[in-house]
């Protein structure tokens, strides 16, 4: 473990870089795909080899949960992971509580897996995850015959009593949510009949792509102009090797840094370019970013490529509300970019940010204001007024509060590279949930980001 990772419990301090950022790097594996690879590998017959798995705390929590449910999940010396599955319907009742840490995706998808199996399991998580609403998942999953016993609002800790004979669910998503869709589809694997999820607004399709990769029968059709995903139940999954591409949500931070530090030229390798994940790249191009895609190809049914980004003078834009599902996790770093861009950037349709690891709308509004940026927010939108000299909070003595949110911590670290006095963040520990080597990777590119006694508050 590097010294930077060892000291992740200390505050973080980022200051303007003296030289351009340069280099070619690969950020960690995609978190969404890593969760799904472990789960479907655990339900498949045979041995699945996973390369490039994100070894952040969220994904490791899913690996531990799959072991507790009966699958063999082991890391090899070369960094690959071997998963020996139990077959659909073969999950075992865990002997202890499943602690999902901060993994919201892991917890919600796992509920789907368990819901259609005849077993009882108890799930909990850290303080942040226990605050997040789960009723949006438990309500539709109950239609397959499962029962859920939870705190008010469907919050963790909760008990899942799986269905004795699960039946297919036919559900129309009230709001765009790939997590809810995925949980329902995963439940449908061990259910009788055809599971259907109607989504008025298309969401990320990682689950559908990986289900096909493992041999499940899943299709997307159109009914009256609306998308419907159908999965044939009582599925038989076969082991299939998975190469996890680099996470575009993690890549967003070095991309942003390169755009903000004059003279920078950085290439991010093997980025997942799934159409449901590139909303930030589309937005940055509209703002004037110099971004190019090189070496485009496909792995496991997912499009990937290398993203080259060079420093650009950016201009604020209005981000279409319908783009939000394709970049919901990137709004914190977009807000940091918008603080430096000329003019105003308006971001409507992002109320979902209020129920992430933290209330990200509130966290970004408060933090940007603390750094001298004019920002406005309401229940469902945020407007950042850029173009002025961003002071930062490096001399104020009061650090940005991350509220256990990894993306808030990294977004303000990026802002610190362009703020006059730098930016202090109170707690870098949450970064390990998705990007354990964030600090050394950024420092290798030339960024002045440190986690040590000099950053003490």
State whether 46 and 108 are in the same domain.
yes
State whether 47 and 25 are in the same domain.
no
Percentage above 90 pLDDT, the chain: 84
State whether 120 and 229 are in the same domain.
yes
Q: Which of the four pLDDT bands, split at 50, 70 and 90, describes residue 9?
A: low
Its domain, for residue 310, covers 3-29+245-455
Listed residue (313, 357, 360, 337) closest to 413, CA to CA? 337
Domain boundary among 220, 242, 264: 242
Contact yes or no for 422/392 (Cβ under 8 A): yes
pLDDT digits (tens, 9 = 90+) for 364-398: 999 999 999 999 999 999 999 998 889 999 988 78
pTM of the predicted model, to two decimals?
Answer: 0.87
Question: Helices 57-68 and 31-43 sit at what angle, rounded to 10 degrees?
Answer: 10
State whether 7 and 66 are in the same domain.
no
Would residue 329 show up in a list of annotated catalytic residues for this protein?
yes
Residue 27 confidence (pLDDT): 97
pLDDT digits (tens, 9 = 90+) for 135-181: 999 999 999 999 999 998 889 999 999 999 999 999 999 988 899 99
Domain boundary among 208, 242, 276: 242
> What value does the mean pLDDT of the chain take?
93
State whether 272 and 226 are in the same domain.
no
Listed residue (323, 297, 292, 330) closest to 411, CA to CA? 330
State whether 59 and 156 are in the same domain.
yes
Domain boundary among 179, 213, 242: 242
Catalytic residue among 10, 99, 270, 329: 329
State whether 154 and 13 are in the same domain.
no
Q: Which of the four pLDDT bands, split at 50, 70 and 90, describes residue 403?
A: confident
| pLDDT surpassing 80 at residue 355 | no
Residue 273 confidence (pLDDT): 97
pLDDT digits (tens, 9 = 90+) for 217-272: 999 999 989 999 999 999 999 999 999 999 999 999 999 999 999 999 999 999 99
State whether 52 and 70 are in the same domain.
yes
State whether 137 and 147 are in the same domain.
yes
State whether 128 and 269 are in the same domain.
no
HEC states along the chain?
CCHHHHCCCCCEEEECCCCCCEEEECCCECHHHHHHHHHHHHHCECEEEEECCCCCHHHHHHHHHHHHCCCEEEECCCCCEEEECCCCCCCCCCCCCEECCCCHHHHHHHHHHHHCCCCEEEEECCHHHHHCCCHHHHHHHHHHCCEEEEEHHHEEEEEEECCCCCECCEEECCCCCHHHHHHHHHHHCCCECEEEEEECCCCCCHHHHHHHHCCCCEEEEEECCEEEEEEECCCCCECCCEECCECHHHHHHHHHHHHHCCCCEEEEEEEECCCCCCHHHHHHHHCCCEEEEEEEEEECCEEEEEEEEECCCCECCECCHHHHHHCHHHHHHHHHHHHHCECEEEEECCHHHHHCCCCHHHHHHHHHHHCCCEEEECCCEEEEECCCCCCCCCCCCCCECCCCCHHHHHHHHHHHCCCCCCEEECCCHHHHHCCCCHHHHHHHHCCEEECCHHHCC
| pLDDT surpassing 60 at residue 345 | yes
State whether 238 and 249 are in the same domain.
no
Residue 358's CATH number: 3.65.10.10
State whether 236 and 373 are in the same domain.
no
Q: How many domains does the chain have?
A: 2
Residue 452 confidence (pLDDT): 63
């Amino acid at each position: 473990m590097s010294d930077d990772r060892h000291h992740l419990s200390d505050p973080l301090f980022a200051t303007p870089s003296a030289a351009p950022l340069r280099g070619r790097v690969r950020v960690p594996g995609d978190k969404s795909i890593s969760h799904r690879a472990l789960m479907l590998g655990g339900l498949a017959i045979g041995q699945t080899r996973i390369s490039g798995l994100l070894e952040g705390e969220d994904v490791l929590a899913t690996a531990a949960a799959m072991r507790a449910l009966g699958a063999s999940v082991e890391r090899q010396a070369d960094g690959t992971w071997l998963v020996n599955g139990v077959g659909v319907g073969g999950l075992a009742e865990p002997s202890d509580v499943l602690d999902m840490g901060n993994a919201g995706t892991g917890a919600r998808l796992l509920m789907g897996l368990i819901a259609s199996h005849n077993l009882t399991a108890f799930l909990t998580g850290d303080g942040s995850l226990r605050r997040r609403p789960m009723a949006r998942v438990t309500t539709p999953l109950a239609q397959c015959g499962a029962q859920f016993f939870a705190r008010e609002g469907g919050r963790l800790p909760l008990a899942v009593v799986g269905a004795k004979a699960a039946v297919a669910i036919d559900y129309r998503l009230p709001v765009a949510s790939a997590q809810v869709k995925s949980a329902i589809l995963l439940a449908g694997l061990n259910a009788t009949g055809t599971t259907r999820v109607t989504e008025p607004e298309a969401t990320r399709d990682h689950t559908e792509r990986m289900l096909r990769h493992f041999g499940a029968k899943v299709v997307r059709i159109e009914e009256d102009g609306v998308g419907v995903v159908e999965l044939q139940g009582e599925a038989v999954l076969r082991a299939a090797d998975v190469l996890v591409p680099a996470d575009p949500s993690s890549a967003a931070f070095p991309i942003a840094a390169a755009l903000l530090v004059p003279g920078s030229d950085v290439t991010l390798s093997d980025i997942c370019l799934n159409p449901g994940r590139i909303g930030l790249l589309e937005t940055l191009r509209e703002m004037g970013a110099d971004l190019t895609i090189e070496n485009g190809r496909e792995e496991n049914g997912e499009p990937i490529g290398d993203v080259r980004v060079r420093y650009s003078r950016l201009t604020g834009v209005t981000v279409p509300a319908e783009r939000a599902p394709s970049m919901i996790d990137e709004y914190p770093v977009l807000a940091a970019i918008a603080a430096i861009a000329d003019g105003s950037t308006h971001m409507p349709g992002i109320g979902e940010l209020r129920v992430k690891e933290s209330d990200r709308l509130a966290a970004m509004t408060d933090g940007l204001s603390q750094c001298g940026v004019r920002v406005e927010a309401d229940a469902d939108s945020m407007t950042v007024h850029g173009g002025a000299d961003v002071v930062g909070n490096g001399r104020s003595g009061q650090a940005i509060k991350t509220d256990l949110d990894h993306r808030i911590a990294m977004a303000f670290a990026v802002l610190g590279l362009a703020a006059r006095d730098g930016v202090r963040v109170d707690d870098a520990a949450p970064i390990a949930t998705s990007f354990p080597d964030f600090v050394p990777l950024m420092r290798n590119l030339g960024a002045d980001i440190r986690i040590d006694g000099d950053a003490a508050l």
